[in-house]
Amino acid sequence: MTTGDLLGPAPDGDAAAPATGELSGVGRRVRAVGISEGGLAIVIGLLIVFCLDTEQLTVIPLLKDITATFSLSPAQSAWVLSATGIAAAASVPVLSRLADLFGMRRMLLLTTLMVVAGNVVCVFAQTPAALLTGRVIVGFNAALPIYYAILRGRSRSGRESDKYSGAMTFVIGLAISGSYLMGGAVISLGGGVRTVFWLITVLSLVLFAFVWLFVEDIPVRTRVPLDYVGALLLAAGLTLLVYSIGEANDWGWGSGRLISLLVLSVLLLVAWAVWELRHRRPLFDLRVIKRRDVWPPLVIAGVVAILGINGALAISNYVQTPSVAGYGLDATVLMAGIYLLPCGLTIAFGGGAVGFVIERFGQRVTSIAGASVALIAFLWFSQVSGTSYQFFILSFLIGVSYALSYTASTAAYLRAARPGEQGMLTGAARGANTAIGALGPPIITALLTAAHVPGTPLPARENYDRVWLFLAAVAFVMLLVGLLVREARFDQRPADNTEWLDGGARSRH
């Protein structure tokens, strides 16, 4: 690797491949375009998050348009939104780990092509089945965890790794802000859901070109056999878990079908854990994941998804409620996006500053601070009337909490990831995010449908107070987990069964 590489040269020291003294093809292209490596890294990260990660936030406000365009039933509309999450639960942890085995750049290109293909199917879909197929294909998307793994692989110190975490939080905040506004802007300009699918397709193709031209691979490979049994058990367990939780409200929380599938999913995940622990060279090394510097940040990464996404969606639903209900603000889809701008912009610009907070106070204190902000914010909001300016304040506080907690948890598990473990741990974080995050929507839906304004299908005002209290309880859980965070040490020694690639195995452990 060379100093011309997009994401920096390979780390120094015995654990690094030696520099050749010449620019690689990627290095020459980076120099030719005249943009700094950091600038290109942020552009690529922004495209990844906007096209492949926050795309769901763009589609959600267009649900009515999706239903009309494709003549969907209510159940089919729900499936259009949930299909990507279920597909991600099955595929993302495995795809991220395969990046350790076969190459980060190769898997990043593959997962980007999957998103392009899925959106093209959605653009030309004429039936609900075709649309659902496209949404499933979009869900096979491990680009963000793989990109985090690339950033960790390029880091030469813990401080540099923390800065990458903060930069990516900045990118996520910008993408969230754009995603909130995009759906409403498309509707305001006379477009529809096919317009959104086209825009994401074009941006995904641009992303593919940027990755192809400017992203160098990480010169390290994990040498473990493809564990088909372990991968199948993990995919099946996570898929059933996410699917059953998503259907909880329709089936009933005490229904035999729900309980049976939940029990089966737990049994599959237990079987997977036993299999991996007994395997001599496991695909997922649970001995690494269960360390104190790893599992608490992974849990926080999942819990913060419940707070961020569901807090924002609850705000969006509330402000769009007609004032005839006695409490709504009559906001349009575009105006709802504006209410959420403080959240996205605070995540963006707060994320850049959190790296310095982590450096000064550590990952544990920063995680606790983020959880505390969320706890206080949702407890406060459960006691106020919900005026326009109060929603702007709540949106801002959610952004502060997310910036602190998400950046600190990411910094912790990236520091803990040794070469050869990056894809495994970033994939595990996304798996936790998907599995734990799946708890939020059905619980929020159950709380909002517990009672209605008389004579209307609109949720009663007190339902939202229960939502804020539930989110406060989630923040309290995140606070307790934050107390268990152990400061992670940046370690450049290759993980077990890992080797550097520089014309041969330079070091093997």
- Is pLDDT above 70 for 369? yes
CATH code of 478's domain: 1.20.1250.20
- 107 backbone dihedrals φ, ψ, rounded to 5°: -75, -30
- Is pLDDT above 90 for 9? no
Residue 26 domain flag: no
Residue 127 domain flag: yes
Does residue 179 sit in the same domain as residue 77? yes
**Domain that residue 69 falls in:** 36-224+283-451+458-491
Count how many residues are written for the chain: 509
Domain boundary among 282, 303, 325: 282
- The per-residue pLDDT for 273 is 92
- The per-residue pLDDT for 467 is 94
- Is pLDDT above 80 for 26? no
Residue 404 domain flag: yes
Q: What is the DSSP string of 261-292?
A: HHHHHHHHHHHHHHHHHH-SS-SS-HHHHTST
Provide the pLDDT confidence category of residue 300 given band limits of 50, 70 and 90.
very high
- The per-residue pLDDT for 14 is 39
pLDDT digits (tens, 9 = 90+) for 334-346: 788 888 889 988 9
Provide the pLDDT confidence category of residue 66 given band limits of 50, 70 and 90.
confident
In 214-270, which ranges are E strands? 220-222
Residue 22 domain flag: no
Least confident of 39-43, 185-189, 288-292: 185-189
Does residue 257 sit in the same domain as residue 327? no
Residue 8 domain flag: no
- The per-residue pLDDT for 19 is 41
Does residue 347 sit in the same domain as residue 484? yes
- The per-residue pLDDT for 42 is 85
- The per-residue pLDDT for 233 is 92
Structure-block tokens of residue 425: 């741990």
pLDDT, average across residues 243-262: 88
Does residue 81 sit in the same domain as residue 150? yes
User: Could you write out the three-class secondary structure of 20-64?
Assistant: CCCCCHHHHHHHHHCCCHHHHHHHHHHHHHHHHHCHHHHHHHHHH
Does residue 277 sit in the same domain as residue 172? no
Does residue 267 sit in the same domain as residue 294? no
Does residue 210 sit in the same domain as residue 278? no
- The per-residue pLDDT for 10 is 44
Structure-block tokens of residue 476: 């309290």
pLDDT, average across residues 16-24: 46
Provide the pLDDT confidence category of residue 34 given band limits of 50, 70 and 90.
low
Q: What is the mean pLDDT of the chain?
A: 84
Angle at which helices 422-437 and 228-246 cross, to 10°: 20
Does residue 253 sit in the same domain as residue 328? no
Number of domains within the chain: 2
Residue 19 domain flag: no
Amino acid identity at 94: V
Least confident of 8-12, 280-284, 410-414, 426-430: 8-12
- The per-residue pLDDT for 11 is 44
Contact 168, 116 (CB under 8 A): no
Residue 498 domain flag: no
- The per-residue pLDDT for 378 is 96
- Is pLDDT above 90 for 249? no
Does residue 294 sit in the same domain as residue 405? yes
Provide the pLDDT confidence category of residue 230 given band limits of 50, 70 and 90.
confident
Contact 472, 378 (CB under 8 A): yes
Does residue 273 sit in the same domain as residue 326? no
Does residue 104 sit in the same domain as residue 232? no
- Is pLDDT above 70 for 365? yes
Residue 6 domain flag: no
Does residue 293 sit in the same domain as residue 383? yes
Contact 483, 297 (CB under 8 A): no
